[in-house]
Amino acid sequence: MNARTGGGLLVAGTTSDAGKSVVTAGICRWLSRQGLSVAPFKAQNMSLNSFVTRDGAEIGRAQAMQAAAAGVEPSALMNPVLLKPGGDRTSQVVLMGKAVGEMSARGYFGSGTGDGRLGRREDLLETVVGCLEELRRTHDAVICEGAGSPAEINLRRSDIVNMGLARACRLPVVVVGDIDRGGVFASLFGTTALLAPEDQELLAGYLINKFRGDVSLLEPGLEMLRGLTGRPTLGVLPFRHGLGIDEEDGLRLSLRGAVRESSLAPPLGADVLRIAVLPVPLMSNFTDVDALAAEPGVVVRFSDRPEELADADLVVVPGTRGTVKALEWLRARGLAEALVRRAAEGRPVLGICGGYQLLGERIEDEVESRAGTVEGLGLLPVRVRFAPDKTLARPEGVALGETVEGYEIHHGVAGVEGGEPFLTGTDGRPLDGCRVGTVRGTHWHGSLESDGFRRAFLRQVAAEAGRDFVPAPDTCFAALREEQLDLLGDLIGEHADTAALLRLIEKGAPVGLPFVGPGAP
């Protein structure tokens, strides 16, 4: 394989959260270790967890993670279409890294998108195929991730991310099934049997994910599945804790009491530091708290009841795609009152992006919620006006005497009318955010991944909370992320048939794969 052959593979799944993202990342890391130039790709992603590339394009955070696994710089080519839900029926459409409009699900998945800036489904397919082919021209291999299930027969005609992409680019397909959910054999067989004959020609095998126990007990089922479908299982990946890095949404984390992959390592001081994260509606970029959870002695928990905040040393209000909706949710649950009470008592609060906006005095929104002027919580002297154009940036600055980097993704423009700047430039000029007492806010996602700043921030929070907590001096978040990505590569290298995967990537699906009835209606 070389740069001129540009092999490819599509990793599909029987369901959402089957493990497509981590399997794709694992294959990327394993291939990179073999000395190959590899890139990830997801034609269409639906996620509130996004990232900004160095040239100012917004893509799914999972694709940025997969690019890190591959050892390449992320770009808009890797995720040309990003859908950011704004409610049950609408999403913001981000095309080639830039927001181009709001669409209903019916409008987007219909025969045409209904928006001149988006064009027809055929135009979107042409765009994503062009991006994939560009990546294949510049890399030895491109590992593509599907979305949801390829057997969503109600959406097949408009599909540009699963079998629609595979057929357009003649990609071999491997389907991942999550055995932890149960019914994995039925899911794999049913997925195959609901595909049209032309799609089944490309489905070359299966991967079983999240297995616990003795693999030998599974082998009779694997043989029967091969007998029924004519397709092999190319690996049984064992269940591993802590591999759900940079998930595409925070649905499963929004449950009350969910712990965000806390290291639960013992603290250096006498006390642990307890951090409560509010699972606001349309929560976005919840990965901001991952760096906090990686610190020894820090316990990060999602909490949605006022009484659960009583023993929290810090409350984090994360980003959200619906600032006004999140504000209403906080008030309805009594959490707004709890935050105001915390601020009056001098107890730490941190708002990030949308969470920062709702801590201010007033929000003028004719863009996101179109609610007009709404009163905020009044904890920071900030007035927010939503602009039609989205701010996308990769800023750098200084805070608490430490260098800090982050990324910005927001429509809200903050007018700060008091307090202290939270983040400044090297020359001391204000860059972003606001602080009044123990209440802080910033638009910068990812700032807590800067090790020196995170440690300084935690020391300050501990002092304000009266905790004998000492941040570990050697926690390197970037190194921890690399270790996680290496674990994904190990998972593929040790438990998947890598020789078979390489053959698929280089040569495509085998000729003559049998048809499994009844096929798509």
Instruction: Cite the active site residues.
Output: 353, 445
Tell me the residue length of the chain: 521
Tokens linked to 417: 């009318």
For 195, residues 6+ apart whose C-beta sits below 8 A from its C-beta are: 150, 151, 163, 203, 519, 520
Would you list the DSSP string of 156-225? GGG-SSSHHHHHHHT--EEEEEEGGGS-HHHHHHHHHHTS-HHHHTTEEEEEEEEE-S-GGGTHHHHHHH
Place of tokens 């929560």: 283
Calculate ∠ Cα 300-304-305, nearest 5°.
115
Alpha-carbon distance 163 to 47, whole Å? 20
User: Alpha-carbon distance 301 to 312, whole Å?
Assistant: 9
Cα distance between residue 47 and residue 334, in whole Å: 28
Contact 69, 488 (CB under 8 A): yes
- For residues 438 and 350, what is the distance between their CA atoms, to the nearest angstrom? 8
Question: Residue 45 pairs with which residues in a beta bridge?
Answer: 82
CA 63-505-203 angle, 5° bins: 90
What are the CB-based long-range contacts (under 8 Å, 24+) for 154-157?
Answer: 155/109, 156/196, 156/520, 157/111
Residue 319's nearest CA partner among 347, 288, 349, 348 is: 288
Phi, psi at 19, each rounded to 5°: 120, 15
CB atoms within 10 A of CB 417: 12
